[in-house]
Amino acid sequence: MMYHRQRMRRAAQTYMKMRGQHGRGGYRRRRPLDHGDLRLLILALIQEEPRHGYDLMNEIEQRTGGTYKPSPGVMYPALSVLEDQGFVKAKKVEGKRVFNLTEQGEAELEEHADTLAKIEERLESLANPEAELHPADIRSASRRLRHTLFKTVTETWPDTSSYEEIVEILNQARADIVKAASKKAN
């Protein structure tokens, strides 16, 4: 029993070192939308055609390739704020609140056209993740590798028969990474 507690404590300490204190910290992937971007995106989608909240959530999910879908707890308050600001106007159609863009909403979109273009570019990159790799992708892959390695080593301990093969695989992976980086540098 004591051995199990020590092993679990060691595993928790290692996890904390990887993630930061109290499980927080570390690198987080950039949010799909920055503060204020959702309202511009909503206005742009409503400009295309009148929409209701559920339709907006699904359209955003589709445009991000399924990587981001705003929750109802985000979407409906955002629509209420846009309505209060006079950017959209709601009307009941078949029991649903369908939103239309007002002249103020169109002016807001024109004023922030450059920001909207950046938002649409970011959504496009989310929909096509192969098109562009970011440092966050490398960090994520290395974190998954560390997790798998740590889990494998702790689960197979004290049987160390596979350790030599694991070390060989890691050394080969390191060599491949250095080789790939040197190709890119030349």
The whole-model pTM stands at 0.55
d(CA 131, CA 87): 34
Q: Of all helices (H) and strands (E), which one includes residue 89?
A: strand 88-93
Q: Domain coordinates of the chain in residue numbers?
A: 37-131, 133-186
Band of the pLDDT at 88, cuts 50, 70, 90?
very high
- Say if residue 79's pLDDT is above 90: yes
Fold of the domain built from segment(s) 37-131: Arc Repressor Mutant, subunit A (1.10.10)
Band of the pLDDT at 159, cuts 50, 70, 90?
confident
Residue 22 has a pLDDT of 46
Task: Judge residue 61's burial from the number of C-beta atoms within 10 Å of its C-beta, 0-12 exposed, 13-18 middle, 19 or more buried.
Answer: middle
Residue 148 has a pLDDT of 84
What's the mean pLDDT in 37-42? 92
Question: Is the sign of the CA dihedral 29, 32, 36, 38 positive or negative?
Answer: negative
Angle between helices 37-48 and 113-127 (to 10 degrees): 90
Band of the pLDDT at 180, cuts 50, 70, 90?
confident
d(CA 162, CA 169): 11
What's the mean pLDDT in 85-98? 94
